[in-house]
Amino acid sequence: MTAMRRPWLLAASILFSLPMIGAAHAKTTLVFWHNHPEWKERVETILQKFEAAHPDIAIDLEEISGPDYTPRINTALAAGEGPDLIDVNPGPEARAAAEAGYLVDLTKLLDTSSLTDAGLDASTVDGKIYSVPVLGAYTVGLYYNRDIFEQNGLKPPATAADLFALCKTLKAKGITPMIAPSQDGTIPAFLYMLAASSILKADGLTAVRHGTRKLTDPDVLKAAYFMRDLYPYFEEGALGSQYTEGKALFALGKGAMMEGGSADYAGFTQTNPKIALAVVPFPALDGGQPSTVTGMERSIGVNKDGKHIDAAVTFLKWMLTKEPAQMVVDTITLTTTKGVEPSNNPVMREMIEASRVNDVRVWYEFPETANVFAAVGANAQQLFLGEMSPEDFAKAMQAAVTPKAN
């Protein structure tokens, strides 16, 4: 009896173990660190599409929030324990990571002809490609809550004068005019870049980078005055509140306006799917034009020390095709893939429309102006509190510029 049963047992156990052995061999798991926790669900939807098309590759996405990302990744890379897919900021940081030898040279491995010019420019370090901004780009303008504006018979502002009049009206009605969480400096930095870009425009920023224009010039100084004058219309406790808290407040209709970008769309609608979002370019300062600021989302590269370089390249190849680009623009933010338009996303369309007037590249992507971002963070609160004059603030901003040697 036992002799009869044994061959069956053996055959059955071999049969049962085969798929397991197969699975263990076939599946490659890529670790991907990214820094937009509020996008997690939407990015995972894109990753699932990829996994469905590539059953042998799985992607383990870890989202790390804003200020915690750089310390985590720099430490892990230095220790040789970085993830397979790394996201880096285009500009000086991407250059530093490439020069340090952390990233695979993708120039010959990827066909980047589908990228927009700005996207390609952001990917390139000394003529070589080390990362690609396949999770999109962002344009920053002024969001407003359509419901609050309609209920109060208000129109979105086109100039700084309109904006201040509007803020006064809203404040008198007991509505917080402007949500501007300023604890970590991100929002003040964008407010300053938008206000200064209204005056400077793209040419003026180039002039600042070459040292022929200064942030202390009398017309650009208006940006510092603008910041100081706008502060009284921020939400209560703005100086101590975090970016994420501010975003949640705006999404829940606790304020009428917030400086924000296409990349914030996902977070707002995730918090409150019913929010009536609308976008205009940032109001023009006296003598300037309405402005928007555009930058690349973090660009994705492949860890040179990673164990699955081929699989990681396969993933980036797929990300450069139209299908994921369409998902990015429909659910997350603007895309960097040519010829992909939002199919049914009015906010993204308004954002594209807003950027047609006076769009300036985000300052931190240029080595000469990269430190202005941090300089705003270090000084804006003193400016808001009246502990620093707008003139001194502008001086501190100019001191953070390292003009190109011509």
Chain contacts with other proteins (rule: CB under 8 A):
66-67, 70-71, 74, 77-78, 89, 91-93, 95-97, 99-100, 102, 182-186, 189, 235-243, 245, 249, 254, 364, 367, 370-371, 373-375, 377-378, 381-382, 384-385, 387
Nearer to other proteins, 84 or 235 (CB): 235
Report the run of H or E that residue 136 belongs to, with start and end. none
Nearest distance in Å: CB 129, other proteins: 18
Distance CA 282, CA 194 (A): 7
Nearest distance in Å: CB 104, other proteins: 17
Strand partners, 279: 143
Distance CA 61, CA 83 (A): 10
Nearest distance in Å: CB 37, other proteins: 12
Distance CA 130, CA 88 (A): 10
Nearer to other proteins, 287 or 386 (CB): 386
8 Å CB contact between 379 and 373: no
Nearest distance in Å: CB 16, other proteins: 44
Nearest distance in Å: CB 387, other proteins: 6
Distance CA 303, CA 103 (A): 5
Burial class (CB in 10 A: 0-12, 13-18, 19+), 68: exposed
Nearer to other proteins, 159 or 242 (CB): 242
**DSSP label at residue 84:** S
- Both structure tokens of 11: 């055959």
Nearer to other proteins, 95 or 338 (CB): 95
Nearer to other proteins, 106 or 187 (CB): 187
Is the alpha carbon torsion for 334, 345, 282, 145 positive or negative?
Answer: negative
Nearer to other proteins, 57 or 304 (CB): 304
Distances in Å between the Cα of 314 and the Cα atoms of 12, 54, 136, 321 are 37, 9, 18, 11
Nearest distance in Å: CB 169, other proteins: 21
- Torsion, Cα of 405, 120, 346, 51 (10° steps): -140
Quick one: angle between helices 40-53 and 309-319, nearest 10?
110
Nearest distance in Å: CB 5, other proteins: 55
Nearer to other proteins, 387 or 391 (CB): 387
Coil vs helix vs strand at 255: coil
Nearest distance in Å: CB 36, other proteins: 11
Distance CA 108, CA 129 (A): 9
Nearer to other proteins, 183 or 345 (CB): 183
76: number of Cβ within 10 Å: 16
Q: Identify which of 194, 187, 186 has the alpha carbon closest to the alpha carbon of residue 69.
A: 186
For residue 287, how many C-alpha atoms fall within 13 Å in the half-sphere facing its CB?
10
Nearer to other proteins, 170 or 320 (CB): 170
Coil vs helix vs strand at 211: coil
Nearest distance in Å: CB 361, other proteins: 13
Nearer to other proteins, 50 or 384 (CB): 384
Nearest distance in Å: CB 392, other proteins: 13
Distance CA 21, CA 43 (A): 30
